Amino acid sequence: MTVVTVEVFVSNFCENCANARLMVDQEISRLDKTRFDVCYVDVVERIDHAVALGVLATPAIAIDGKLVFTGLPAAAVLQAALAEHIAVDDQ
């Protein structure tokens, strides 16, 4: 079983970043917490990494090293993206 890496890019001046953190935690809990490694990345502290992935605004969510969402996605859309990464690993 491979663990899916989820990076949530946040900043102190971002109004939706707290919502993004909460949503990611909730959707991962609905799937299987043991299948995910979640980290919250402060774009100011890790600007080079954020830019390398194409993060231009916060919140942003990368899954397995690829930028998947810029902005706050709908919960169902996030859950589908996370579930897809688990399904790919299960094949």
pLDDT of residue 43: 95
pTM of the prediction? 0.92
pLDDT band at 85 (very low <50, low <70, confident <90, very high): confident
Per-residue pLDDT tens digits for 13-59:
898 999 999 999 999 999 988 999 999 999 999 999 999 999 999 99
pLDDT of residue 53: 96
Query: Cα–Cα distances in Å, from 89 out to 36, 68, 83?
Result: 12, 17, 10
Q: Which residues of 4-15 are buried (b: 16+ CB within 10 A; e: fewer)?
A: bebbbbbbeebe
